[in-house]
């Protein structure tokens, strides 16, 4: 698992007794053992987990501090043969000052002690009564449990073998302040932040706390692992819920059930490679630097065999939840239609020309034009939908195309490409019985020529129908369906196209029947003759592989810079019950080869609106030489 850039992190909320380090250290040990059984690499406990956060003036009692110190010594001994790095919260006295600290243990050593910086002293908080801020810090090294230990907020912890497994620590209020310490940690290379917290519950705080952690994780492009004191804290005036959560770049990986009198533990597999890739891409990430000097403490996590617990969506471009899906579809359609509406306003044209085939892509583009016309108050009669039957057109797609256009009151034109194609085959000396790439592309270019010429005649613009998945694979005819005057589907992957059309179908009773039939039709360019019973003989996915796989490959390859080996690993796990490992590897190799070899088509695509996080426009998100070699990517799979 680590070879693909993952590290398993955990957040524990142990059962505890206020001011009883003897009891608390036993429960912490039990949680450590549980974490080891789950093969967690790094585990964090709440703020002041050795004593409890709500000890109040008992923090002035030497006996409490002495027993807390004894508990730390126990953990040093206990950790000697434990394959786990863990962080606990404890009060530590240094130079006559008491600090609220995080203590980091690994294999019998205390790697470092990080004190809290921002000490809350308002509303229900009185921490300055007991604790000093790290701003009052004097020594940068202390003796603790018979060891010389680094002490301060200038410490980062880094794995010797895997330098990107690097973390910093902040404590509770540090996150809530205007400039959290984690800002400096991530600027200096930390990919993970662990927060030991004691956050009480009041109405509305749960959502606010989650938003705070989410946004700090997103802003810093880091994994943020947060855990907080539970309901076993004193309820003299407050109640604590024991909230814990793990975020990665603003996405929630795991959170616990709050208000539990027992102990609870959550874990998640954090993708460090993904975070590093995102930082490499984000050129403003290091737009500000500082001259702070950090001390690095090294550790070395073991290479234990772990099975990835993280679940990935088979359709990463498509939201999983129904409500979110509806909102997302509406948002996507709005972006597409307003982009087209702006282009029409700018050009002064009120007419559009679209090739309508009865397939998914042209259907979606047509529906987008309908929406744009509704926005601009233009009659749908100004949509000139051209159906162009060819040698491979089936009766099913032909009828669906006509029905769709008529349902929305657009202007239908039917122009057969057969006669013109036959003449062209004769002109170039091509045998029409040879159904090769020339046979297909002649038809595709003939259709584009018709659309362009109709647009000239009608003073209109041609709206393109090709989608993101086709562009990624280069599955389009150069200067054929590859070309238009504005492309509304350019950043819509095939898997999302289906959901967008389905969304419209569900909400449009008039066209529901035809739209659902289009959804059920096999994806095909229909350039080869149909079977004797008029069934589509040329099924795209038989030739180039399932789009559900290609969209998965595209998402992880482009969006997160995953290596082919890692993509194969994730795909084998995600599609375990759908495709064999051999099938997945075959289609992945094809994806890589086509992605590189077909870049020349993407280098000159027409204008098209960016909708999601992935766009292959040469003017926007993606610049790649047309003659780049794919060898090292293919070799990565063969190693």
Question: Which residue, among 447, 48, 451, has the nearest Cα to 230 in the 3D structure?
Answer: 48
What's the CA gap between 52 and 46, in Å, rounded? 9
β 411-414/383-387 pair status: parallel
Q: How far is CA 519 from CA 121, 371, 400, 459, in A?
A: 61, 20, 11, 32
* Active-site annotation holder among 27, 47, 201, 233: 47
- Distant-in-sequence, close-in-space partners of 119: CB < 8 Å, separation ≥ 6: 100, 127, 128, 131, 132, 133, 173
According to DSSP, the residues that pair with 97 across neighbouring strands are 94
Provide the CB-side half-sphere exposure for 47 (13 A, CA). Answer: 30
Residue 620 and residue 468 in contact, taking contact as beta carbons nearer than 8 Å: no
- Distant-in-sequence, close-in-space partners of 79: CB < 8 Å, separation ≥ 6: 32, 86, 105, 106, 107, 108, 109
Dump the DSSP string for 84-151: -EEEEEEEEEETTEEEEEEEEEETTEEEEEEE-S----STT--GGGT-B-GGG---SEEEETTEEEEB
Q: How far is CA 420 from CA 370, 437, 457, 614, in A?
A: 30, 17, 19, 38
- Concerning whether 172 is annotated as a catalytic residue, the answer is yes
Q: How far is CA 387 from CA 305, 324, 394, 412, 487, in A?
A: 57, 35, 12, 8, 18
**Tokens at 543, concatenated:** 């030739």
φ/ψ (deg, to 5) at 394: -90, 160
The SS3 call for residue 368 is helix
DSSP state of 58: G
Biggest distance spanned by C-alpha atoms of the chain: 100
- Concerning whether 47 is annotated as a catalytic residue, the answer is yes
What's the CA gap between 176 and 174, in Å, rounded? 6
What's the CA gap between 208 and 228, in Å, rounded? 14
What's the CA gap between 356 and 398, in Å, rounded? 9
* Active-site annotation holder among 67, 166, 172, 267: 172
Residue with tokens 């020349």: 600
What's the CA gap between 102 and 182, in Å, rounded? 14
- Distant-in-sequence, close-in-space partners of 606: CB < 8 Å, separation ≥ 6: 464, 483, 484, 485, 486, 487
Q: Which helix or strand (DSSP H or E) is residue 265 part of?
A: strand 264-271
* Active-site annotation holder among 15, 116, 166, 254: 116
The SS3 call for residue 584 is helix
What's the CA gap between 389 and 384, in Å, rounded? 16
- Distant-in-sequence, close-in-space partners of 609: CB < 8 Å, separation ≥ 6: 335, 336, 339, 340, 488, 490, 491
- Concerning whether 116 is annotated as a catalytic residue, the answer is yes
Q: Which helix or strand (DSSP H or E) is residue 170 part of?
A: strand 166-171
**Residues annotated catalytic, as ranges:** 47, 116, 172
């Amino acid at each position: 698992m680590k070879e693909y850039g993952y590290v398993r992190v955990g957040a524990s909320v142990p059962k505890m007794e206020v001011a009883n380090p003897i009891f608390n250290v036993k429960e912490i040990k039990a949680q450590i053992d549980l974490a080891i059984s789950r093969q967690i690499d790094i585990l964090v406990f709440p703020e002041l987990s050795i004593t409890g956060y709500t000890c109040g003036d008992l923090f002035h009692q030497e006996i409490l501090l002495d027993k807390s110190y004894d508990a730390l010594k126990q953990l040093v001994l206990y950790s000697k043969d434990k394959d786990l790095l863990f962080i606990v919260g404890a009060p530590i006295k240094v130079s006559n000052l008491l600090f609220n600290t995080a203590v980091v243990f690994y294999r019998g050593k205390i790697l470092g002690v990080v004190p809290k910086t921002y000490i809350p002293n308002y509303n229900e908080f009185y921490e300055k009564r007991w604790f000093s801020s790290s701003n009052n810090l004097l020594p940068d090294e202390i003796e603790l449990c018979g060891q010389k230990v680094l002490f301060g907020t200038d410490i980062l912890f880094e794995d010797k073998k895997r330098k990107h497994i690097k973390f910093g620590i902040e404590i509770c209020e540090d996150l809530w302040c205007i400039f959290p310490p984690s800002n400096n940690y991530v600027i200096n290379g930390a990919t993970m932040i662990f927060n030991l917290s004691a956050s009480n519950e009041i109405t509305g705080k749960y959502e606010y706390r989650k938003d705070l952690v989410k946004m700090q994780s997103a802003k810093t492009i880091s994994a943020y692992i947060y855990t907080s004191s539970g309901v076993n804290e004193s309820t003299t005036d407050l109640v604590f819920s024991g909230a814990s959560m793990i975020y990665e770049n603003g996405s929630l990986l795991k959170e616990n059930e709050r208000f539990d009198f027992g102990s609870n533990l959550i874990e998640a597999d954090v993708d460090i490679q993904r975070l590093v890739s995102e930082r490499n891409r984000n050129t403003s990430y290091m737009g500000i630097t500082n001259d702070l000097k950090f001390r690095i403490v090294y550790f070395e996590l073991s290479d234990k065999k772990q099975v990835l617990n993280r679940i990935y969506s088979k359709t990463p471009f498509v939201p999983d939840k129904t409500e979110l899906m509806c909102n997302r579809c509406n948002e996507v359609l709005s972006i597409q239609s307003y982009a087209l509406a702006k282009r029409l306003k700018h050009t002064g044209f009120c007419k559009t020309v679209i090739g309508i085939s009865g397939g998914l892509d042209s259907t979606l583009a047509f529906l987008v034009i309908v929406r744009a016309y509704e926005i601009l108050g233009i009659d749908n009669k100004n949509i000139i939908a051209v159906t162009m039957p060819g040698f491979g057109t089936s009766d099913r797609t032909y009828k669906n195309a006509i029905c769709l256009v008529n349902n929305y009151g657009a202007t239908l034109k039917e122009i057969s490409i057969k006669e013109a194609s036959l003449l062209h085959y004769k002109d170039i000396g091509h045998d029409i019985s040879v159904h090769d790439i020339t046979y297909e592309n002649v038809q595709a270019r003939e259709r584009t020529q018709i659309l362009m010429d109709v647009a000239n005649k009608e003073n209109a613009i041609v709206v393109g129908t090709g989608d993101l998945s086709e562009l990624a694979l280069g599955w389009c005819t150069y200067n054929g369906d590859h070309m238009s005057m504005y492309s509304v589907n350019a950043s819509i992957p095939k898997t999302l196209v289906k959901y967008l059309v389905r969304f419209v179908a569900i909400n449009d009773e008039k066209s529901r029947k035809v739209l659902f039939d289009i959804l059920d039709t096999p994806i095909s360019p229909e350039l080869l003759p149909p079977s004797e019973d008029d069934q589509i003989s040329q099924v795209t996915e038989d030739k180039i592989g399932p789009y559900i796989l290609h969209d998965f490959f595209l998402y992880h390859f482009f969006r997160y810079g995953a290596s082919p080996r890692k993509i194969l690993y994730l795909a084998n796990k995600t599609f375990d019950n759908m495709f064999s490992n051999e099938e997945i590897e075959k289609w992945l190799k094809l994806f890589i080869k086509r992605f590189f070899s077909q870049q020349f088509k993407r280098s000159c695509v027409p204008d098209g609106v960016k909708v999601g996080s992935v766009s292959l426009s040469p003017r926007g998100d993606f610049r790649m030489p047309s003659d780049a070699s794919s060898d090292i990517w293919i070799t990565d799979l063969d190693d």
